[in-house]
Amino acid sequence: MSERTFFANARLLDPASGLDETGGLLVEGRMIADFGAHLDTAPEDAEVIDCDGFCLSPGLIDMRVHLGEPGAEHKETLTTLSQAAAKGGVTAVVGLPNTDPPIDDAAVVEFLARRGREVHGVKVFAYGAATKAMEGKRLTEVGLLKQAGAVGFTDGLHAVSDAIMMRRVLAYASGFDALVLQHVEEPALTQGAVATEGEIATRLGLPAGPAIAEAMMLERDLRLVELTGARYHATQISTGAAVSELAGAKRRGLDVSADTAPAYFALNETSLMDYRTFARLSPPLRSEQDRREVVQGLISGAIDVIASDHWGQDQETKRLPFAQAEPGAVGTETMLQLALELYHRGEIPLLDLLAKMTINPANLLGLELGALVLGRPADLALFDLDRPCRIDADNLASKSKNTPFDGRPVQGMVMATMVDGRMIYDGRD
């Protein structure tokens, strides 16, 4: 295979620089050697890929996935996760620390980095746990974990609910310029809840918690951020009240950011009506008004990142009564397709949308990824912006197939994905 690959006739998209033009891109070995409208002739020794006007962008960065490995390989492995991510145009994933053993020790971070290299697919990064065993009682060694490669610190699905402990986490992390991520949900109000309080939960007889629990935890944390000066990221924003809190914090100049997942801007709580456990998520699906306000948060910039919250669950944990089923859905493979709905509806410009899955997460996590830069690794996604298709759970590459979007028509399809100059997915006809 040639050491040089030339993408011809591509619509080059780079949110970091604002680039949107037709041209070519040359890859030499692992790196981007040249790109732009001036590049219209392939070198003689290069393998040529005619993009036929398809979009060529930096590979997506999915900054919230459940790895499965180690500890839950029957639900997902790094190999199957990598295959799913590649089919979605994702070239880097960041795993939550809720593995078994949890990522609260430098040795686990190093193990995952080694396994990621062995899989030879997408790039695998990890968060370190904010507290030992994610129990909210003792701080982890943030400095050692960061030195080992942890790109942020979080207790994953569990909020650090004790205010004194959260203050310590933020203060300690700020000394290392480390990003703290929080699952913003007041646990005392949502314990045992599987739905959002309201008419639908009442009609279905499901244990429910108030949507305001999200903003309550977020507001407390923002006060602690003011106190400590830490870098703070709120995950999986699902309510309009939380969007308002974030917007206010940014106006006050706090170093805060947030992400949401496609489920919270593409679905609402009516998806629970048939007790379909694939729609059992954490946080739970919200009202239509909340869904619209999350979209507005993405438009305004109050929400910086779209992440999949990819979480494979097998049949044994999903084919149960709704209240007993495990939460979660797979999503790294369909993240781009669902996000493109916002572009096709005219709600968000294409470059602004792609920024939320490329340069924005890269900047937050301190990764030299997510942009078209000469001399940087050739991590690229080639996609047809307009091709219609339908999400089919049976054809997903993930080991688990638990998607609430099965059968949903979408517009957009990834054609190829490259990491470090290697084609790790090629779906061209």
- Our answer to whether residue 309 is catalytic in this structure is yes
CA-to-CA distance for 38 and 119, rounded, in angstroms?
36
- Out of 290, 304, 309, 384, the active site residue is 309
C-alpha to C-alpha distance for 337 and 341, rounded to whole angstroms: 7
Query: What residue type is 129 in one-letter code?
Result: A
Proportion of the chain in helix, strand, coil states, percent, rounded to 5: 35, 25, 40
Could you give the C-alpha distances from 150 to 56, 142, 304, in angstroms and in order? Answer: 29, 9, 21
- The sign one gets for the Cα dihedral 128, 129, 133, 139 is positive
Q: Give Cα separations from 193 to 37, 190, 265, 404 (angstroms).
A: 54, 5, 21, 19
Residue 47 pairs with which residues in a beta bridge? 5
Are 33 and 378 a contacting pair, CB within 8 Å? no
CA distance 66 to 51: 33
Nearest to 329 by CA among 284, 294, 287, 361: 284
| Token pair belonging to 135 | 């129990």
Q: Is 284 exposed, middle or buried (0-12, 13-18, 19+ CB in 10 A)?
A: buried
Angle at 332 between CA 113 and CA 51, to 5 degrees: 100
Q: What angle in degrees, to the nearest 10, is found between the helix axes of 78-87 and 106-119?
A: 60
- Start-to-end CA distance of the chain, whole Å, equals 20
Q: How far apart are alpha carbons 82 and 211 in whole angstroms?
A: 34
DSSP letter at 84? H
**Annotated catalytic sites, by residue?**
309
